[in-house]
Amino acid sequence: MPTTPTPATPPADLFGGGGPDRFFRGFTAFVDAYLGLLGRVPLRSGPARVSSWHAMRVVEREDAAADAVTFRLADPDGAALDPWWPGAHLRIELPSGLVRHYSLCGDPARRDTYAITVRRIASGSGSVELHDVVKQGSTIRVMKPRNAFPFAGEPNVLFLAGGIGITPVLPMVREAAANGLNWRLVYTGRSRAAMPFIEQVEEFGGRQRVLILADDETGRVPDGADLIAEAPRGAAVYCCGPAPMLAAARAAALDAGPEAVSAFHFERFTPPPIVDGQPFELELARSGAVLPVPADRSALDVLRDHDPVGTPYSCRQGFCGVCKLHVRSGSVEHRDLRLTDDERAAGEMLVCVSRAPEGERLVIDR
C-alpha cells in the first residue's frame, strides 16, 4: 500500500493557511483512488448536493461513560440503512431544529442501526438537548452518512484519540484489527471513567497494541512525544481530539520526519479558529443580496444565516470540498487544504474557511 509523505515543515496556520497544501491534496487524490478500488464512492468528490432528511427512531439509549451516552438509531419501518465506512458522520436535526454532526461509532457491517456517542457539554446546546430531551423511542431526522475523515487502510497505522474523539477512531481500529494491519492506539482522557469504549478497545489488542493514558493515573497531560512514541515505523497517523492534542501530535509527527510518520490525518471537534480575519462582503449573483461577513465569522456561517439549507457543508475545516462555490469576481484569500491551483484560478472557493481582504466584495454563484 503506498503512503503519502508528511510535509517537511508545518503550514503557518496549522488548520488552514493562505497557501496551498500539497500534502492534503495528494492525500485527497490517494484516498479517492483507494476508496474507488474498494468499490466505495468518495463522498467528497463531484458537485456538492443537498441530501434529503429522513426520520429515524432511537431504538436504544445507554450510558457509554461519565456524561457520555450512545444512541442507536433505526429506520422506523425496519429498512436497511445506507452503507458507511470508518470516519463517517451523521448530520442530525434535533427536536428544537438545531442541526449537529456526530461521528458514527458502530460497526459498518451492521445495516440495521447507526450508533452515535455524545458527551454532554454544559455549553453545548446540541449535546444537552440530546441528553435531556431525546429518549429511547424518540424520532429525529438525519441525513445520509458523509465522510470527511476517511480511513485509507495503510499497512502501518497509529490511532490517536482524546476523550470523545474515540468515536470516529473506533470503527477504524475495528477495520485495522479485522484486516491484520500493523496498528497501535493511544487513547487519552481525564480518567478511565470518562473515556467511552475503554474496555472495548483494550479487547482488540491488549497492552501490545493499546496504550491508555488517563491524566489522573499519569499525573499529567501527555505531550506530543508521548502521543507518537507508539507509532510503527512509517505509520500513517489518524488523530481526533481537542485542539491542543492535535497541535502537539502534529508538531511531534513533523519533527519525527517522513520515515517515522508517513502521513497525518485528523478531525477536529470544532471548526478551526479564524486567524487574522478581516470584514468583507458576499454578493449573491442570483438575488443581488449583499451579506456582510464580520472578521470573526466565516462566509459559510453568514450564508447559512441567510439560507440555512442552501449551502451544503461537512468538515468546516477546508479539506472535504463539500461547500465549494464559484466566485465570479473579487479577490479570495484561500485558506483551504483541498483546492488545486487550477481550481483556485478558475474561481472556486471553499466558503467554510476561505475569506477575502478587508472591504473586498466577492460575487458568488448563489
SS3 for 9-27 is CCCCCCCCCCCCCHHHHHH
CA distance 236 to 352: 26
pLDDT band of 362, cuts 50, 70, 90: very high
Question: Grid coordinates 497494541 are at which residue?
Answer: 209
Q: Where along the chain do its domains lie?
A: 54-147, 149-268, 280-364
Mean pLDDT along residues 333-361: 94
Structural class in CATH, domain 149-268? alpha beta
Mean pLDDT along residues 215-231: 95
pLDDT band of 101, cuts 50, 70, 90: confident
Helix count and strand count (H, E) for the chain: 9, 17
By residue count, the chain amounts to: 366
Mean pLDDT along residues 171-175: 96
Mean pLDDT along residues 221-248: 93
Check whether 31 has a pLDDT greater than 60: no
- Strands (DSSP E) contained in the chain are 54-65, 68-74, 88-93, 99-103, 114-119, 139-142, 146-147, 156-162, 182-189, 210-214, 235-241, 261-268, 280-284, 290-293, 324-329, 348-350, 361-364
What is the per-residue pLDDT for 338? 83
Check whether 97 has a pLDDT greater than 90: no
pLDDT band of 321, cuts 50, 70, 90: confident
What is the per-residue pLDDT for 180? 94
Task: Look up residue 111 and give its amino acid.
Answer: R
**Over the stretch 3-16, which tens digit does the pLDDT of each residue have?**
333 333 333 332 23
- Taking a C-beta distance cutoff of 8 angstroms, is the pair 159, 210 a contact? no
Mean pLDDT along residues 203-223: 91
pLDDT band of 314, cuts 50, 70, 90: low
What is the per-residue pLDDT for 99? 80
More confident residue, 184 or 337: 184
- Taking a C-beta distance cutoff of 8 angstroms, is the pair 192, 70 a contact? no
- 327 CB contacts (<8 Å, ≥6 apart)? 347, 348, 349, 362, 363, 364, 365
Closest CA to 236 of 181, 188, 197, 178: 181
- Look at residue 104 and give its three-state secondary structure: strand
Cell numbers placing 226 = 508521548
Whether CATH 3.90.330.10 fits 54-147: no
In Å, the largest CA–CA distance within the chain is 61
pLDDT band of 88, cuts 50, 70, 90: very high
Mean pLDDT along residues 204-225: 92
- 154 CB contacts (<8 Å, ≥6 apart)? 1, 3, 181, 235, 236, 262, 263
Check whether 181 has a pLDDT greater than 90: yes
More confident residue, 29 or 142: 142
pTM of the model: 0.70
CA distance 251 to 227: 11
Please provide the CATH number assigned to the domain covering 280-364: 3.10.20.30
- Taking a C-beta distance cutoff of 8 angstroms, is the pair 147, 44 a contact? yes
